[in-house]
Amino acid sequence: MKCEIAQQNVVMAVYGELPDELGGSLERHLEECEECSRELNAMRALDEYLALNPVVEPSPSLLAQSRMRLDDALDLIPPHGFLTRLRSNFYGWVGHMQSAPALMTLLVGTGFLAGNFTYRYQVAHAPAEAPGVVTMSNSTQGSIANVTGIVPTPNSEIVQVKYNRIVPETMEGSLDSKEIRQLLMVGMTQEANTDVRATSVKMLSNECRVGHACVEETDGKGVRNALLVSLRYDKDDAVRMNALHGLEPYVGQDRRVRDALLEALLHDKSASVRTAAISLLTPVQSDSSVRQVLRTVSTQDDNPYIRTASFQALQDTAGIQ
C-alpha cells in the first residue's frame, strides 16, 4: 500500500469507517512506515482534542436569518445564474452536514492533512535565502593583495574586513624617461612571464647599444647591472643573448662586463651565447685573462665549432703574446 492511500485510510480508520478488507493492509503498512504511523497518531490526537471541545451548533435563528437574507439577494438576479446554482448547492451541503456528522469530521481531517501537505510543499519549494548585502568602499576589480584587519560586530554576523587591492595601471612614455626604464627593469625580473622579461631585456639592450640609459651607476641598480644579471642568471637563451648584445659597447671599458662575457664563454649552456661571446671578446684579446679563457675553451669545449672559433681568435692574438 502506498503512503498516499494509507494516509487517506488512516482518517477513515480513526473514525471507525474503514472497511474490514482494508484494515489488514493498512496495519501492515503502518508497521513498516514511520511517517504514516505519525499521521495516525496525529489524527488520533486531533480526534481526542475535538472530543474535549464539542462543536457548538449555530442557533436555528441565525441559520434562518442568513437564509432569508440570501433569498432576498438571490431574488434580485435573473434565474438560472451562477448565484442560483450556488444557493442550491449551499442548501444541499448544509443538509448533508446536518445529517452526516461523520462526514463533517472527515472533512475536518482531510483539511488537516491538506494543510500539512501544503506546509511541507511550501517548505520544500521555498526560495533559497538571499546572501547578505555586501558593501564595498572601492569597487575596483584589481586582485586582493592582503587583508589588513578584521572587525566583527558584537552579537551579529556582520563583519568588516579591511584589505588592499592591486589595481592594474598603465604608463606610456619614452624609453628615455626614468619611469619607463624602471618599469622595464622590473619587467626583466618577471620569472613567470617570459614574454615580458624578453621584451624588457631587448628594449633596454637596444638603448644601451645606442648609448642611452646605460651609464654605469655606483649603487649597482642601473640598466647595465640589470643586463649583467640577466646574462648570468636568466633561464631563457634568447634573453641572455639580448643581454649579451646590449653589453657589447662596454666590453672594452668595463671590467665587470668583460668578466661576465668570460663566464658566459666558459659556462653558458647555449652554444649560440658562447659563440657570440667569442666574437665580442675578440677586440680585447690583449687582456691576458681573455687569452687564458680562449685557450681553455679551444681545448675543452664540447662543441668543435666553438673550439675552432676560440683557436682562431688566439691565432689573431699571436702577435700580442
Q: Which of 38-42, 49-53, 124-128, 212-216 has the lowest mean pLDDT?
A: 124-128
Compute the mean pLDDT over every residue in the chain, rounded to the nearest whole number.
80
64: its cell numbers: 434562518
DSSP state of 159: E
Q: Characterize the bridge pairing of strands 159-166 and 143-152.
A: antiparallel
Residue 207's alpha-carbon distances to 89, 174, 201, 245, 291, in angstroms, are: 101, 11, 10, 11, 30
CATH code of the region 178-319: 1.25.10.10
Give residues with Cβ within 8 angstroms of 146, minimum separation 6.
163, 164
pLDDT tier at 195 (50, 70, 90 boundaries)?
Answer: very high
DSSP state of 215: -
Domain range summary for the chain, segments of one domain joined by +: 3-50, 178-319
- At residue 210, the pLDDT reads 87
Distance CA 158, CA 133 (A): 10
Range 164-172 average pLDDT:
84
pTM (two decimals): 0.51
Distance CA 81, CA 62 (A): 26
Neighbours of 261 (CB within 10 A): 26
Q: Which amino acid type is present at position 180? A: I
- At residue 321, the pLDDT reads 46
More confident residue, 12 or 81: 12
Range 193-209 average pLDDT:
92
Contact present, 225 and 217 (Cβ < 8 Å): yes
Q: Is the pLDDT of residue 244 over 80?
A: yes
Contact present, 9 and 18 (Cβ < 8 Å): yes
For 40-81, write each residue's pLDDT tens digit. 888 888 888 877 776 666 666 776 777 777 777 777 766 555
Range 231-237 average pLDDT:
94
Residue from 238, 164, 138, 139 nearest 197 by CA: 238
